Amino acid sequence: MTAPDITGPVRPVTVPARPVLAVAALAAATVAWAAVPMSGARAGARPALIVAAACAVFSVAQLAAALLASRPGTARRDTGVYQAPLPGFIRRAWDGVRAVPWPQGLTVAVLGLEALHPARPWHTVVLGVVVLAFLLALHLAESADGPAVLRPQLPLIAAGLGLAVVSAGAAMLPAVSSGSGWLTVIAAAAAVLAAALALPV
């Protein structure tokens, strides 16, 4: 077996800034959309907003750090046997921060922040769209792929958004929005389904 000739041009080394900016914009939009207006929110909205903002910042920092670490041209240096205490502590702390799943925290925080506001179905659906866009953009940035890789998922995303719109419309009906029992049962069944899907194979 022979391998091809290697005498071709090599692409220049670049750092992808655009995906990070897109993710940062979507994270900021998610937090802002869930927060406004703060005046009508219940108690606990302010701590939830702080948590959501922190999760957004750390999500973007985590992504940027991951991209910088995997940047072509980055070489590991020998750190030596001995290391000063402060840089060692900072390095360990940063490694700990990077290990936290901040995007999941952001998702939970913004949904909680939205729940602390009075019922506003269309606003919630738009928030869902923005959160989904944030998660997909984050995945694309991490995997350094273009939006084209999500083409197989497009029908599913469209169907899901259609269901979300239907649910928002249903929530605006007075009988349903009052909180009847069947909605609770359906939600619980869906929770079981999601938990089953989450189990690793």
Check binding of 170 to other proteins (CB under 8 A). yes
Check binding of 83 to other proteins (CB under 8 A). no
Stretches 18-26, 38-46, 85-93, 139-147: which one binds other proteins (CB under 8 A)? 139-147
Between CA 60 and CA 66 the distance in angstroms is 10
Between CA 173 and CA 54 the distance in angstroms is 36
Cα–chain center distance at 140:
11
**Contact (CB, 8 A) for 49 and 38:** yes
Check binding of 124 to other proteins (CB under 8 A). yes
Check binding of 67 to other proteins (CB under 8 A). no
Check binding of 146 to other proteins (CB under 8 A). no
Between CA 23 and CA 65 the distance in angstroms is 13
Q: Which of residues 2-61 bind other proteins (CB under 8 A)?
A: 2-6, 8, 10-11, 13-14
The residue written with tokens 């249903």 in the block is: 170
Interacting residue with other proteins among 72, 87, 88, 147 (CB under 8 A): 72
